[in-house]
A and B are shown apart, each in its own frame.
Chain A
Amino acid sequence: MNMPLQQKTPDAKIGEIIKLAVMAVGGQGGGVLTNWIEALARSQGYVCQATSVAGVAQRTGATIYYIEMAKKADLEPVFALAPAGGDVDVLIAAEMIEVGRAIMRGFVTPDRTTLIGSTHRALAVSEKMTPGDGIADADEVRAAAEVASQKLVLADMDGLAVAQGSVISSSLFGALAGSGALPFPRSAFEDAIRASGKGVEASLRAFAAGYDAAQLGVDTGDGPEEGKAPELSGPQPKAGGLTAPEETERAPALTGPDREMDRWTELLGRAEALPDPVREIAVPGLMKVVDFQDCTYGEAYLDRVEEIVEKDTAERDWLLAATAAKYIANAMAYDDIIRVADLKTRAPRMARIQTEMGAKEGQLMELTEFFHPRSEEIVSLLPARLGARWEANPRRMAQIDRWFNKGRRLRTHSLRSFLLLHFLGGLKGYRVKTRRHEVEMAHLEQWLKDSLEPLSEDYALSVELLKNRRLIKGYSDTHARGLTKFATVMNAAKLLRGREDAAEWMNRIREAALQDAEGKALEGAIQTVRSFA
């Protein structure tokens, strides 16, 4: 109310029209919320009009509901059918990016708008399909919301509702009541829910949660959630209380038999002795590789990391060694059949899924895993020399494909499938003799060698080259494509060597490689480099 009004409104009654817009993602129940608000307004002696655009926009697209209300009088007021920029009193956005869209469209203005938004994310397809990290920056939206709104209510409304066994429309309705933006008592809101007659109890609980969220400190941005990753998709396990607490709340640690633990403590001591920035990565890295294989393997990891620490310096804040610690761990804990089989048959996994699926006492859970081994995966599991020979023999590979290459559904709750995976998962001792291990280790050494080569002349470039390891991920074809991209990006270093901005360009090329699966952006980036190299 501090901002001067843009337009004069000589008839004070005009100001009495309350204008409320709901921006939602199709399928979120914006219609239910609208009906409640309408019923509420009418029950409180207001005339009320609502509009919406039904149709394909409601199939998971962005959609708007719009409501106007005014105190009943002898004459009928004239209401508008759509929200106008700068002319909205209450804006309810049922998702964080929709909060942004509302602001972008001018529906949130500092002179008048109470903005009620849910901080959870329902990712748009464009955000999800990027091979890298394409998620929009919710913090920018939050910052804009603080500037644009007169009053701000932000909370994970979806999480609040799901925790109460309800849906977001209930918690948003509660937040609307709690915000005090409408001149109606709480009981009138609750009566509107009761009158609708469906799932009333759960709705009322979620309503209360939303109400409290709006009452108690408005912006939860710097609250206890600080530092946590933002809620990404619909209802998150965290908010819904669906994840097994023992798995998430405890800090990661290794457990096992005493004999092994002694060795582990010794290893951990070595890792802890590393310079701070390196230690922060090397400790989880060490855990990962020891979990993947054993303490001997962990020793090899530390040897590699320490070797790079030797070459690094505190002046650069140990960036090279910290980066290496991260990606060496990832490279050493490669994704082979043995690892997958082991992870799929661990005890905590069953418990975690059970909780996630909300399976209760007296209910059973059956698990089906989807495997599709190709000859490449089968042969990579053979002893190194035999595997290499077979790999080089296309007829042999085709034959193996005929035998094995088909989708396999393993019902891991049944003994047969479980035993098969349990057996495969137990092949750790044999793993180091496999073809896959040989290939992975050779690749790792080559990558380290290539990355460290320019170190003496261009420290930053070496760091960037190490980071290129990020490009290798996925399984089968995706993995093969990742390797190709990795090779392309690493090769580009030759074009860049000697340039002052080599590291910068290497970073750009890698980011391009992560933009799309086909590598179009990467191709473009390489072309650009060629043009000036």
Chain B
Amino acid sequence: MAERSFKAEVEHLRKGDGDVFTGEGILAITKALLENGVGYVGGYQGAPISHLMDVLADAEELMAELGVRFEANASEAAAAAMLAASVHYPIRGAVTFKGPVGVNVASDALANLCSSGVNGGALVIVGEDYGEGSSIMQERSHAFAMKSQFWMLDPRPNLPSITKAVKDGFELSEASNTPVMLMVRIRSCHVTGSFATKDNVPPPLTVKEAIANPQSDFNRVVLPPMSYLHEQDKIKKRWPAAEKFIMENGLNEQFGPKDAKIGIVVQGGMYNGLIRALQRLGLADLFGRTEIPIYCLNVTYPLVRDEFDAFCEGKDHVLVVEEGQPEHIEQHLGSFLYKAGRRLKLYGKDVLPMAGEYTGQVMLDGITAFLKSAAPDMLPGQVRAPNAEEPKIPDLSKTVPIRPPGFCTGCPERPIFAGMKLVEQELGKHQITGDIGCHLFGSLPPFEIGGATMGYGLGPASNAAFDGGGERRAISMLGDGGFWHNGLSSSIGNMVFNKSDNVVVIVDNYYSAATGGQDVLSSRAQNDTKSTNNPISAALKGVGVEWIRQIDHTYDVGKVRDTVREALTTDFKGPKVIVASSECMLNKQRREKPLRNKAIKEGRRVDIPRFGVDSDICTGDHACIRLSGCPSLSLKRLDDPLRDDPIAHIDQTCVGCGNCGEVADAAVLCPSFYRADVVHNPGGFERWRANMRNRVISWLQTRRDSKRLRLTGAPT
């Protein structure tokens, strides 16, 4: 069950000729796929295209009606490999994953696919995770297009342009027998807007029909001597065909006056940012009508030399706006200019920064710097000679703390790290590698467990250097998502084969949780279209792991601690794998809350737990927080002149997961925590018993209070 349901929105995918679609970018892309007769779709989730996978999953029914196959691929490599169907068959296929990490994983399949070439349109929709809010290393997918020779679309970030790029992409792919990558940037994926829809088109040839009539052609196999021919084919046929298609169909756009002395070349995806900078400089209007000519590259690879040459005709200064490094496009255009013997001045990463996101301010500064040099009289007076003083706003950089993402309230992974922290306090620091997934938050304060992450499912593999053993065993983390993505073979199989003596903790939260709660093989949910409930421990046994410990309730911090300690100290030689399983709390709450509310309404007995802290018992040492970091476990200042430090406090967002109590117990912290269970619709006997108890308790309390002095109205 994915974090967000698109069931309601999916109905918009049925819109036809003359309708208008209003919504999010990813949904628009899905709609465009259906309008363009796609035959099969697949992919692997990950921000920023997770929701695209969720939309596809929720639209499975509609796609089945059209005869479109949807596959939730095991990895990006598997998704790219699926495009093999378009090598021999004239079927349009589309897969999606994030870039560049997903493209890294997929690159083997992509390279083979590009060598073979395609018959049906093959589209790879990549959500480029670059800039602010990104969770990965900052690189570009562009280089992959250059090395493997596939074409790269980077449309302007509005719904009509993005949906048109889907159509263009398929056609370009077919015209040049080359796969096409449609790159959508992190914000374009979630940008909202409208576009005019067309009827959905069932694929002319469905995958079902195709498989009834199998085809093969050894010329498409990547083996010598065919592979040498593929390379020639790429350069001599496919590339010129692509250039021709791009020019004839006007895939790249030009805006503004024809005969200016200056011009700007921009990646399609950066167009809006460029226009905003021009708008702020008074050089473009609300609708983007610009005073400076713009050559907008909706296709960023290949660059079409003739088009660029024509744009440069009569210009003295041209700026390239290209986000990220290295400056592939600028270098490429520079070589065009040099070879043509032109004397115009090319600007790019000199006025704009080489690295980092081109935010509004960066863009404004860069364009201003370009104009100052190329056409100073176009700048508004105030920029040339600013006379207004910047307002003095107090510096808050020392006051405002950073707020990195962390475990959600009630997350089942928190107690795993609390347990590991306790082992660390006991046995000392260990070599620990992390993996991709929510559990990577364990490397941040307050836990600070784990120091490296090399890729999805590669946690244990990144400890391979230490597989030979040493004084202390190395520990690696792996999520259930990473385990099925790649970890089973690359990490676990690798450990077994190399006789590793190290320890793996597999964090099993029943979902691919960090990407939005998609089901994986070991998910416990019943899924009508997927096979779930395949235990991780069975797979571990299958590849030869002998020491396996299954923890079915990660909130039992003591048990986690003892199991990790056992794994680190046992005499057993060989990989030791702990599978720590508890359901992702976000998904659990989403599933259980409505059921619980319904039960309460129907008068059934429901017990709702929540934790609290006795403020007069808490001494404000915050030891509990250093083993938790739960958002609902916070601090409160008491209005008490005798106290210096704020005390722990649990707010009403607590979901009663039990971590606080377990940690207080396992770490022998303090007795200030309590759990309060509110029993809704208690039974008759229960009520009677409670009543009796309360009478006795209250008699005892009154008796004691009649003999001693007691403080009332104490600060809380």
- Known contacts A7-B281, A54-B50: A250-B713 contact under CB 8 Å: yes
Interface residue ranges of B519-553 to A (CB < 8 Å)? none
B684 → chain A closest CB, angstroms: 12
Tell me, in angstroms, the Cα distance from A407 to B376 when the chains sit together.
75
Closest to B406 in A: A60
B191–A366 CB distance below 8 A: no
With an 8 A cutoff between CB atoms, is A229 at the interface? yes
Tell me, in angstroms, the Cα distance from A53 to B610 when the chains sit together.
32
A contact residues around B678 at 8 Å (CB): 357-359, 363-365
Determine which of B363, B405, B516 lies in contact with A26 in the assembled complex, contact meaning CB atoms within 8 Å.
B405
With an 8 A cutoff between CB atoms, is A521 at the interface? no
With an 8 A cutoff between CB atoms, is B598 at the interface? no
Tell me, in angstroms, the Cα distance from A368 to B660 when the chains sit together.
12
B285–A11 CB distance below 8 A: yes
B contact residues around A104 at 8 Å (CB): 395-397, 400
A414–B693 CB distance below 8 A: yes
Interface residue ranges of A51-105 to B (CB < 8 Å)? 51-64, 70, 73, 75-87, 97-98, 100-101, 103-104
With an 8 A cutoff between CB atoms, is B226 at the interface? no
B186 → chain A closest CB, angstroms: 6
Interface residue ranges of B668-686 to A (CB < 8 Å)? 668-671, 673-682, 686
What range describes how many residues of B lie at the interface? 35 or more
Determine which of A75, A87, A148, A364 lies in contact with B687 in the assembled complex, contact meaning CB atoms within 8 Å.
A364
Determine which of B272, B381, B395, B514 lies in contact with A79 in the assembled complex, contact meaning CB atoms within 8 Å.
B272
Tell me, in angstroms, the Cα distance from A38 to B674 when the chains sit together.
43
B273–A81 CB distance below 8 A: yes
B386-415 Cβ-contact flags toward A at 8 Å (1 or 0): 111001111111011111111111000000
With an 8 A cutoff between CB atoms, is B359 at the interface? yes
A106-122 Cβ-contact flags toward B at 8 Å (1 or 0): 10111100000000001
A260–B360 CB distance below 8 A: no
B193–A366 CB distance below 8 A: no
B446–A129 CB distance below 8 A: yes
B262-282 Cβ-contact flags toward A at 8 Å (1 or 0): 000000000111011001111
Identify the interface centre among B157, B191, B361, B644: most chain A CB within 10 Å of its CB.
Answer: B644
A364–B686 CB distance below 8 A: yes
B contact residues around A407 at 8 Å (CB): 558, 665-666
With an 8 A cutoff between CB atoms, is A9 at the interface? yes
With an 8 A cutoff between CB atoms, is A261 at the interface? yes
B360–A103 CB distance below 8 A: no
With an 8 A cutoff between CB atoms, is A382 at the interface? no
Determine which of A9, A126, A281, A340 lies in contact with B617 in the assembled complex, contact meaning CB atoms within 8 Å.
A340
Tell me, in angstroms, the Cα distance from A470 to B646 when the chains sit together.
12
With an 8 A cutoff between CB atoms, is A522 at the interface? no
Question: Which of B11-19, B118-126, B327-335, B697-705 is the contact stretch?
Answer: B697-705
With an 8 A cutoff between CB atoms, is B209 at the interface? no
B contact residues around A250 at 8 Å (CB): 712-713
B676–A78 CB distance below 8 A: no
B contact residues around A248 at 8 Å (CB): 713, 715-716
Ordered by A's residue number, 5 sampled pairs between the chains whose C-beta atoms are within 8 Å are: A49-B191, A76-B158, A236-B636, A247-B714, A415-B696
- Known contacts A10-B282, A59-B441: A363-B406 contact under CB 8 Å: no
Question: Which of A179-187, A217-225, A348-356, A497-505 is the contact stretch?
Answer: A348-356
A473–B47 CB distance below 8 A: no
With an 8 A cutoff between CB atoms, is B635 at the interface? yes
Question: Which of B101-109, B141-149, B625-633 is the contact stretch?
Answer: B625-633
Determine which of B393, B635, B642, B679 lies in contact with A281 in the assembled complex, contact meaning CB atoms within 8 Å.
B642
B contact residues around A26 at 8 Å (CB): 405
- Known contacts A7-B382, A106-B361, A254-B709: A127-B687 contact under CB 8 Å: no
Tell me, in angstroms, the Cα distance from A169 to B272 when the chains sit together.
29
A contact residues around B391 at 8 Å (CB): 3, 109-111, 147-148
Closest 9 CB pairs of A and B: A84-B360, A233-B634, A55-B47, A53-B133, A61-B405, A407-B665, A473-B619, A250-B713, A474-B621
- Known contacts A38-B192, A290-B709: A7-B280 contact under CB 8 Å: yes
A contact residues around B135 at 8 Å (CB): 55-57
B contact residues around A330 at 8 Å (CB): 642
Tell me, in angstroms, the Cα distance from A108 to B394 when the chains sit together.
12
Determine which of B192, B446, B649, B714 lies in contact with A48 in the assembled complex, contact meaning CB atoms within 8 Å.
B192
A contact residues around B185 at 8 Å (CB): 81
